[in-house]
Structure 1
Amino acid sequence: MSSWNPSHRPAVPLPAPATAATSRWPALPPLTAGAVAVLLALYLTLAANLPLWRTLVQVGRAPSAYLPLMLGMGLWLVLGLTALLAWLAWPRVIKPLGLLLALVAAVVQHYMLGYHMVMDPSMAANVLQTDVHEAADLLGWRLLLDVGVVVLPVALWLWRQPIRPQPALRRLGSNALLGLGALLLVVLVTLLFSRQLAPLMRSEPQLRYMMNPLASLYSTGVAALRPGLSRSSSSPRVVISADAHLKAPVSATGRPPLMVLVVGETARADHFALNGYARDTTPELARLGVLSWRNAWSCGTSTLVSVPCMFSPLGRTGHEARRSEYENLLDVLQASGLAVLWLDNQSGCKGVCERVPNAQANDAAQVAKYPALCPEGECLDAVMLEGLDARLAALPPDRVARGVVLVMHQIGSHGPAYAKRASQAFRRFMPQCLRSTLSDCSHAELVNAYDNSIAYTDHFLAQTIGWLQQQSARFDTGLVYLSDHGESLGEYGLYLHGMPYALAPEVQKHVPLVAWFGGGLGRHSGIDEGCARAGLDAQVSHDNLFSTTLGLMGVGSSAYQVQRDLFAACRRSQVAQAAPEGSQAP
């Protein structure tokens, strides 16, 4: 009898361990990384471009018109994404980067669907510079749902999809062949569909920024490289402040000027009762007898574009065409010997205040100190008035004795969380929209929330004027308020702002401009207020801010342009108010 020896046991193949995935789903055949890239490009083209397909249907109107457009742009997208992904088509790379690309595409599609925005370079730059509070206002359950619908299917597929290994050199050759082949086919598709697509790109230029996610990647790259969109405080600038100086004072009081310049946020001119709006959104300013220009226009449709532009000496056209960065209004004011302070209740000054004293009014210390003004970590604009006397006292006394320019940068009517921009006492128009997905609110609720934010701005400006009146024993005071851009509230299906300037509706560009000189600043600079009131229907813009401010503060500079000074024609005293003969704007 022989004993049993385990080593002599016949070899029997063991079954693969069962898992949830293998028990529920059939196995997928292995694919090369290049094939995964092509399928991913096809999926993103179909699933992450609903705004593009919808727009093409609206533009084409009839199937015979829009189907060729959809085919041509669809092929562009598939081939363009394939050309991009071909260089990432490596077994250990394609899955995580493919999933990340799908996530980006899904997020961008959500905002294009919800807010009818397009991802041009300015919008990409805005996204890159958005702070935590602004980003939080844009989050919600709809974002999770929209992203999940796009990302979960591709995530499941990528998780289960086996990738066939290939030698490195062979994979490199295949990737190069796939990428170059896709680019050649892009050229071929362009030639085949040029008759349909070329006129479309000229008549509907926003479509090029709706090709998702290619447009997002392109715009982000441009935003990172273009002057003014990628900011660097150390980059060289064209100096315009070298000859800045204070002129002989016009005022007979002997008091230095104190000007508060309020940079508004997202305010529409047509929602100010001062400009004829049916609702009384600006009662406190009306009682103060302010000047209000009814035909004022912005440099851009986003804070990132408008704020640097409005402080520039170049005007909108020159600012857009510039090849170099320039010093700005604050540099000239400071070089003249005035005291300058930028106080911010938003996500920063977009590079404008980097070379002058500046402070955040909504930092952690302020939030902790003024909880009633800073609910949920976001501060109402009135927080900028807290401790303002101490901030003024901390400025260099020799400069203060010559004059002060204090810039306040509002959170204003920043959307989509309009309901957060007004305290309880100023929620006059109810019911108001409380959601961040604005299309979920009725138009009436949305307008109510927005108008409440304008009513709060009215109160904040009146409070600021009250503070200026308290300084009248020491200074000749005045205030200028100018919003950076307007806002869409559902008109034409658009929400928020940031549309390319040439395509943006007027409501994103028509802004309020208000001035108050009851504290003596008008008399200080020799302004005939009756003359100024006679010009309130004239067309003005952000281009006027630079020279108007220099004129009000009595600053001489070769960068000053008399034709852009709103009050040049209304000065009783013309002492050195015009630019030196032959001087030109830089």
Structure 2
Amino acid sequence: MRLPPLKSPLTIAWLASLWMGLLCNWPLWQKLASLPELDNARGHLFIGVFCAFVVALQGGLLSLFAWRATIKPVLTVVLLAAAALAYFIGSYGIVMDPTMVINTLQTDARETRDLLNLRLAASLLVLAGLPLLVIWRLKLTQTLWPRRLGWNLIGFVGGIVVSALLILATFADFAATMRSYPTMRYMITPVNAFYSLAAVAARSGAKPKGPPQVIGADAKLASRPAGTKPPLLLLVVGETARAANFALDGYSRPTTPELAKLPVLNFSKATSCGTSTAASLPCMFSPLGREEFVKQKNDQETLMDVLQRAGLAVLWVDNQSGCKGICDRVPNSPTAKLPEGAPALPAGLCDGEECLDMSLLHGLDERLAALDPERAKRGVVLVLHQMGSHGPAYYKRSPPDRKPFMPECTTNALQQCPREQVVNGYDNSIAYTDHVLASAIGWLQGREKDFATRMYYVSDHGESLGENNLYLHGVPYAVAPEEQKHVPMVLWLGQDLAPVTDCLKAKLDQPASHDNLFHTVLGFMGVQTALYKPEQDLLASCTTKH
């Protein structure tokens, strides 16, 4: 039986808006319905009006595309986006703001694979597949373009006017809700995604083209006393490790047993620059600090550029989805690309597309030997960018023989697992990071004959594990929970800095943050530049006493 023709693309646009407003926004309606202040007749009325506002707003915007040649392709993109967003927002409690758009654009194939599951497929099939099946079977009639333009303008203006009137009618409730729950505006699907994408594009377009602004042009190395060894810093950038599950930070489970046996310095009140890799990583390698970094309009060089300009040997080894531009102008390598002469990676470390973090330490001797020898004589900075505890597939981040907490969740659909199994999988990844860091310190101890060694570990951001129905990370910083901002930060100092450890122990409970990284590394390596702020160097107040 053939479906009857539908004469107006505008009708399809509004019906699709009604479908998305009612069904694809189910996480938004669920969130509103759970608010205690809306659990009354007035609150229920507001939710209904808000729903009508979403339908009218999206219907008005879709009216601009209600042409015979464009409406079906446009609705295909919009419905698929809405269905996917409904799944991710509803399952993990994330919001689609500009930062999350950047994260999405920078996600590689490995990370994308970890997000795919049957529940996502079901959401796409039901929320997008069913209406698209109907839409693509409809036969649209030809209409003269002046008439079509007129109707589309009526649909657009009418939708915008109606949505504005609906908000005005409930403005007090709307303003109070948005003020108390500011992330809710990024739950309106799929307007949230397209708005955030436009914001990212506008921000990117406003930046001047060309290479990043040079920083630290005056960088040079301080003279080193005769007979002293060049510094060797292992800077380990963690991924998605939250301090709440780090035993060194007071967690009840023994997730860091190996580090606990070593003379490490753990800063218990460290906070991140952002709640995602895309936000935190560029910020923590910048001299600006979080508050100024979020305001900057121009791209700048990073700590890696300054270290290289000062004459040091630097190398970035990546076991993640890339360095977000930080290592573009310095030597860098993925873990799977071993230097000449290095033995092959042991079986089980890599599965062809993804490697466990112990691969970061494999071949380090050969990587060190391959660096420019003249630069290496002045000092070496090796950055190891971990896969760490990247979710939602936490179970993949630790090998089978290093899983002390069982049973663990073995699916990326975290909502299908009991929360204790989700936590088990996450804690196993932290315990494996503990093993990697302890092994890294062991490697450094074997280099103390030739170098003054030290390790600096800090995670890029934390993670939500179901608290308040939130999973993963990426909540806007101003309203993000503590679990996404409080991160582990650990130092290990070699023999040359052993005298300052007692002084530093008195400072371990003082606030620290990603703002300290740039200046602490400059101090570690003896780099002199006007950019250096000794008050941000974690060691400066102690080293000046010795």
Same fold (TM over 0.5): yes
Q: What letter matches 1:68 in structure 2?
A: L
1:238 aligns with 2:210: no
- The structural deviation recorded for 1:510 is 0.6
Corresponding position of 1:328: 302
Corresponding position of 2:165: 188
Q: What letter matches 1:357 in structure 2?
A: P
Matches within 5 A, 1:403-552: 403-520=379-496, 522=497, 528-552=500-524
* Distance in 1 between residues matched to 2:161 and 2:371, nearest whole Å: 63
Corresponding position of 1:345: 319
Question: Is residue 343–residue 363 contact of structure 2 (8 Å, CA) maintained in 1?
Answer: no
SS in 2 for 1:528: helix
Corresponding position of 1:307: 281
Question: Is residue 208–residue 298 contact of structure 2 (8 Å, CA) maintained in 1?
Answer: no
- The structural deviation recorded for 1:45 is 0.5
Corresponding position of 1:249: 224
Question: Is residue 119–residue 209 contact of structure 1 (8 Å, CA) maintained in 2?
Answer: yes
Question: Is residue 551–residue 568 contact of structure 1 (8 Å, CA) maintained in 2?
Answer: yes
**Further displaced range: 177-186 or 440-449:** 177-186
Count of residues paired in the alignment: 543
2:195 alignment partner, one of 218, 221, 225: 218
**Further displaced range: 273-282 or 553-562:** 273-282
* Distance in 2 between residues matched to 1:224 and 1:374, nearest whole Å: 36
- 1:27-52 deviation per Cα after TM superposition (whole angstroms, max 9, x unaligned): 43523111111111111101100111
SS in 1 for 2:68: coil
- 1:510-556 deviation per Cα after TM superposition (whole angstroms, max 9, x unaligned): 10000111353x26xxx611000111100111111111111111111
| Closer/same/farther in 2, CA of residues 367 and 432 from structure 1, 3 Å limit | farther
SS in 1 for 2:355: coil
* Distance in 2 between residues matched to 1:547 and 1:369, nearest whole Å: 35
**Further displaced range: 307-316 or 77-86:** 77-86
2:233 alignment partner, one of 231, 239, 259: 259
- The structural deviation recorded for 1:232 is 9.2
| Closer/same/farther in 2, CA of residues 131 and 56 from structure 1, 3 Å limit | same
- 1:177-230 deviation per Cα after TM superposition (whole angstroms, max 9, x unaligned): 322332233332332222221222111111100000000111122233435xx9
1:296 aligns with 2:270: yes
Unaligned runs of 5+ in 2: none
- 1:148-174 deviation per Cα after TM superposition (whole angstroms, max 9, x unaligned): 221232123213323221012322232
Question: Is residue 543–residue 564 contact of structure 1 (8 Å, CA) maintained in 2?
Answer: yes
Question: Is residue 340–residue 406 contact of structure 1 (8 Å, CA) maintained in 2?
Answer: yes
* Distance in 2 between residues matched to 1:185 and 1:149, nearest whole Å: 29
* Distance in 2 between residues matched to 1:568 and 1:479, nearest whole Å: 16
* Distance in 1 between residues matched to 2:218 and 2:32, nearest whole Å: 54
Corresponding position of 2:331: 357
* Distance in 2 between residues matched to 1:361 and 1:124, nearest whole Å: 27
- The structural deviation recorded for 1:439 is 1.2
Question: Is residue 301–residue 508 contact of structure 1 (8 Å, CA) maintained in 2?
Answer: yes
**Further displaced range: 146-155 or 546-555:** 146-155
Corresponding position of 2:525: 553
- 1:479-536 deviation per Cα after TM superposition (whole angstroms, max 9, x unaligned): 000000111111111111111111111011110000111353x26xxx6110001111
Question: Is residue 233–residue 351 contact of structure 1 (8 Å, CA) maintained in 2?
Answer: no
Question: Is residue 20–residue 82 contact of structure 2 (8 Å, CA) maintained in 1?
Answer: yes
* Distance in 2 between residues matched to 1:82 and 1:224, nearest whole Å: 24
1:64 aligns with 2:41: yes
* Distance in 2 between residues matched to 1:512 and 1:82, nearest whole Å: 47
1:86 aligns with 2:63: yes
- The structural deviation recorded for 1:87 is 1.9
* Distance in 2 between residues matched to 1:176 and 1:515, nearest whole Å: 62
| Closer/same/farther in 2, CA of residues 420 and 364 from structure 1, 3 Å limit | farther
**Further displaced range: 185-194 or 37-46:** 185-194
TM-score (norm 1): 0.89
Q: What letter matches 2:426 in structure 1?
A: Y
Matches within 5 A, 1:34-45: 34-45=10-21
Question: Is residue 528–residue 572 contact of structure 1 (8 Å, CA) maintained in 2?
Answer: no
Corresponding position of 1:9: none
TM-score (norm 2): 0.95
Q: What letter matches 2:315 in structure 1?
A: L
Question: Is residue 50–residue 166 contact of structure 2 (8 Å, CA) maintained in 1?
Answer: no
1:125 aligns with 2:102: yes
SS in 1 for 2:45: helix
Corresponding position of 2:145: 168
**Further displaced range: 200-209 or 187-196:** 187-196
Corresponding position of 1:383: 359
SS in 2 for 1:130: coil
Unaligned runs of 5+ in 1: 1-20, 575-586
Question: Is residue 230–residue 452 contact of structure 2 (8 Å, CA) maintained in 1?
Answer: yes
* Distance in 1 between residues matched to 2:355 and 2:90, nearest whole Å: 29
1:154 aligns with 2:131: yes
1:209 alignment partner, one of 183, 186, 209: 186
Corresponding position of 1:3: none
* Distance in 1 between residues matched to 2:53 and 2:310, nearest whole Å: 55
SS in 1 for 2:141: coil
* Distance in 2 between residues matched to 1:153 and 1:142, nearest whole Å: 16
**Further displaced range: 48-57 or 317-326:** 317-326
Bigger Rg, structure 1 or 2: 1
Question: Is residue 125–residue 304 contact of structure 1 (8 Å, CA) maintained in 2?
Answer: yes
2:244 alignment partner, one of 270, 283, 286: 270
Corresponding position of 1:373: 349
